[in-house]
Amino acid sequence: MINLQQRNFIENLLIVTDLSKEQEELLFNFGCAQKVQQASIALVKGEMSADDFLDAVEEYVPIDNYLDEICENVEIFLYQ
């Protein structure tokens, strides 16, 4: 079970993507958002390396556009 801080972190990863409504619908229609969340949970639990996480997410969303924001959020979460 993940705690509230971990859940907020996962939700923030999706927020920083700043996806358009159409992109969000595509993510949810194809179940991609769930896969991104699963990868985020694995990262937070230490079951996945940062490199593997970025590879997994990149399959589903255009990560290059917001890689800096994700890295910053990861650092903030890990060093709180």
Per-residue pLDDT, averaged over 64-75, amounts to: 66
pLDDT value of position 41 = 80
pLDDT value of position 31 = 64
DSSP-based helix, strand, coil % in the chain, nearest 5: 75, 0, 25
User: How confident is the model over 7-50, as pLDDT tens digits?
Assistant: 676 667 666 656 666 666 665 555 666 777 788 788 888 898 88
Within the chain, strands assigned E span none
What residues does each domain of the chain span? 4-78
Query: Which residue is associated with the tokens 């979460």?
Result: 77
Please state the three-class secondary structure of 55-66 as a single string: HHHHCCCCHHHH
